[in-house]
Amino acid sequence: MPPAQPATLASSAFLRACRRQPVDRVPVWFMRQAGRSLPEYRALRGEGPILDAVAKPELAAELTLQPVRRYGVDAAILFSDIVVPVASIGFGVDVVAGVGPVVERPFRSAHDLARLRPLEPEVDIPYVLETVRILAREIHVPLIGFAGAPFTVASYLVEGRPSRDYALTKALMRTEPALWRALLDALADMALTSLRAQVAAGASAVQLFDSWAGALSPEDYREHVLPSSSRVLEGMAGLGVPRIHFGVGTGELLGLMAEAGADVVGVDWRVPLDEARRRVGPDRAVQGNLDPTACLAPWEVVAEEARRVLARAGPEPGHVFNLGHGVLPQTNPDILRRLVDLVHEEGGRR
């Protein structure tokens, strides 16, 4: 059973907005807010591998808290990485600085399925759960746990590294649909197990990152990906924590991503939020969607674009302000701090 939420958390603007309840102010947080652009992050984390930092609960908790203190955001997101579960069971995944996830022996055939044993959170990722427990004690805003969605994690395992066209991934999907489904379901079960453990340890919401699902046509997504993502999201239903479902370039998939079982659908900057609301339907909240590159402009331009996002989100409840993708490392932290203030001051009652 997840720990009961303190009253202050349950009534937080972030959790209320996720549930499409009225709020006093529009809540805001940033993807990849935990670091990269913050000097105190770079000072504390140093140059070592990210997976090493994730494995140190006190450090990971502090890295999670830094942006909450600096920016005054309405939610914290766990400092971790979507490949942590597959790496923890020994699949041979490394996160290389300046590259991304690199897999020593990529997934290529049915033989590789045996390398994906079920995740045992208390054995495989005890440090993640310890980080969540530390944060649940210390934090005054909701903590967002997360997992990589089956397609996006599979794309790394199959390609062996970040890809532009996902050629090997999609070839496997079309050529060996049964093996593909077994791979995605194994990854779905790992994601579900990880998310449930994070909630049991104290996370107040979860986000499923299907960052690269936008590479798929709606037909391919519906046939080859949605069932496994739904396995994760439906498996998280009834736990009392909002489920956010996010991807990049997913304009044509927003309705299907809602259908997969999301309470909140993340939207990148390509689809205005009024149109996104039409696509996800009235039963879901939306999260987004300022272009991360907008934060590299002078403040007046940032402010104008942020106001446009608030205006497009409209007066109805159910908007969590965010960027359309992660914070770029070269972003000036002062811009993000001012952005949080603007959203709080101008994104009023709704």
71 a catalytic residue: no
Smallest distance, a copy of itself to C-beta of residue 297, A: 4
CB 339 within 8 A of CB 304: no
Closer CB to a copy of itself, 19 or 270, in the complex: 270
3-state secondary structure of 179: helix
User: Locate tokens 């980080």: which residue?
Assistant: 131
165 a catalytic residue: no
Tell me which of 19, 25, 32, 307 is the catalytic residue: 32
Closer CB to a copy of itself, 230 or 293, in the complex: 293
CB 190 within 8 A of CB 157: no
Tell me which of 19, 25, 36, 115 is the catalytic residue: 36
* Helix axes 177-201 and 226-235, enclosed angle (nearest 10): 20
Which residue(s) pair with 321 in the sheet? 28, 288
Which residue(s) pair with 246 in the sheet? 209
Smallest distance, a copy of itself to C-beta of residue 163, A: 10
Closer CB to a copy of itself, 2 or 272, in the complex: 272
Tokens representing 176 are 């060996």
45 a catalytic residue: yes
Smallest distance, a copy of itself to C-beta of residue 127, A: 30
Tell me which of 16, 20, 41, 45 is the catalytic residue: 45
Tell me which of 16, 70, 71, 81 is the catalytic residue: 81
User: Locate tokens 């967002």: which residue?
Assistant: 144
Instruction: Give the integer Cα–Cα distance in Å for 65 and 78.
Output: 9
Tell me which of 41, 71, 127, 156 is the catalytic residue: 156
124 a catalytic residue: no
CB 254 within 8 A of CB 275: no
Task: Give the strand order in the sheet containing 76-77.
Answer: 76-77, 143-148, 205-209, 243-246, 264-266, 285-290, 319-323
Closer CB to a copy of itself, 89 or 172, in the complex: 172
HEC-encoded secondary structure of 272-335: CHHHHHHHHCCCCEEEEEECHHHHHCCHHHHHHHHHHHHHHHCCCCCEEEEECCCCCCCCCHHH
Smallest distance, a copy of itself to C-beta of residue 229, A: 17
156 a catalytic residue: yes
Smallest distance, a copy of itself to C-beta of residue 254, A: 11
Smallest distance, a copy of itself to C-beta of residue 268, A: 9
Closer CB to a copy of itself, 125 or 254, in the complex: 254
Give the start-end residues of each E strand in 48-142.
76-77, 93-96, 100-103
Interface residues toward a copy of itself, by CB under 8 A: 165-167, 170-171, 174-175, 214, 216-220, 249, 251-252, 269-272, 275, 291-294, 296-298, 301, 308, 328, 330
Closer CB to a copy of itself, 113 or 301, in the complex: 301
Tokens representing 243 are 């489920």
Tell me which residues are annotated as active site. Answer: 32, 36, 45, 81, 156
